[in-house]
Amino acid sequence: MQSRFRSDRRLTVRMTVTMFLLGLLYVAFVAALIVLLKSWLLVVVLVAAMFVAQFWFSDRIAMFAMRGRVVEREEYPELHAVVDRLCAIADMPKPVVAVSEMDMPNAFATGRNPDHAVVCVTTGLLRRLEPAELEGVLAHELSHVAHKDVAVITIASFLGVIAGLIVRFAFYSQLFGGGRRDQNTAAVFAIVMGVSAAVYAISFLLIRALSRYRELAADRAAALLTGRPSALASALTKVSGDIARIPTKDLRTAQAFNAFYFTPATGKEPGIERYFSTHPSLEQRLDQLGRISAELGEATTPGKG
């Protein structure tokens, strides 16, 4: 079923290109695994099992890591009411609603499709935001579900996880079995390490480029759905400022899931590292919302088209 979130062709194209390029990497990577493990059957079983675990259980993995729990309407009636209203406006299935007992103000969406999705907010976010700001953040997260980019990021992240694991496996295999290796085996090992490192690096860059664009797309879709880009801008400013005041040691656990968050748990605006960031800068996001606000204002001004 097509939701009423504004479709984004540029996002769709970027997701398609990213998945195609990662697919090519996937083929090269599987070949490297076969060379390393010398058993195509073992490779197929191992990769398939990990893919199923990552794809089908990504929501549970994220919820567990972030200490989130499903909450019923009786416990958080206002939160459920906002999600209900947005889902009715967007004409999309209501996701599972969850809350994480964390002071870090943030939110994330996960799940393999709109019928199996979870939207989770932290208690720190609920405590800090006004109703209109919370609506903007939840609309942002629901747009990720509607555009299916949550599933794409989950699948894309899978390659990076596997590549990182194989590099570690190869390293320890060489470390503890180096005495039994001949010159040819050492050469194969070097090739496998090189391919794995290249797969990890390229997938890392592709995922982050897609992630930065999808955040802008979600901001845009949320602003247009709610008609209040200023409320979303206010939430962004407030959340980013409050995260900057949270001790770095308290953010480290959360940083592994930055690609899924409303705003990254970095505590500061990136400098040169913005090119490797999962999110665009706060300035970019506010500039876009300012332009949308101006456009909506022109559209509703009497006497204008």
- Would you name the residues annotated as active-site residues? 141
Q: How many CB atoms lie within 10 A of CB 188?
A: 15
Give me the residue label for tokens 């990720």: 144
Q: Would you say 83 and 97 are in contact if contact means Cβ atoms under 8 Å apart?
A: yes
Please count the other Cβ atoms lying within 10 Å of the Cβ belonging to residue 127.
10
Residue reference for tokens 């060489």: 174
With H, G, I as helix, E, B as strand and everything else as coil, classify residue 290: helix
Are 87 and 142 contacting, i.e. CB atoms less than 8 angstroms apart?
Answer: yes
Query: Are 120 and 262 in contact, with CB atoms under 8 Å apart?
Result: no
How many angstroms separate the CA atoms of 173 and 28, rounded? 21
Q: Is 72 annotated as a binding residue?
A: no
- Comparing CA positions, the residue from 196, 172, 180, 149 lying closest to residue 16 is 149
Residue 90 identity (one-letter amino acid): A
Flag whether 140 is marked binding. yes
What torsion, rounded to 10 degrees, do the Cα atoms 130, 132, 134, 136 define?
A: -150
Phi and psi at residue 110, to the nearest 5°:
-150, 165
Q: Would you say 147 is a known binding-site residue?
A: no
Residue 207's alpha-carbon distances to 123, 184, 204, 212, in angstroms, are: 29, 34, 5, 9
Q: How far apart are the first and last CA of the chain?
A: 31
Closest among 160, 112, 124 to 235, alpha carbons compared: 124
Binding residues for Zn(2+): 140, 144, 215
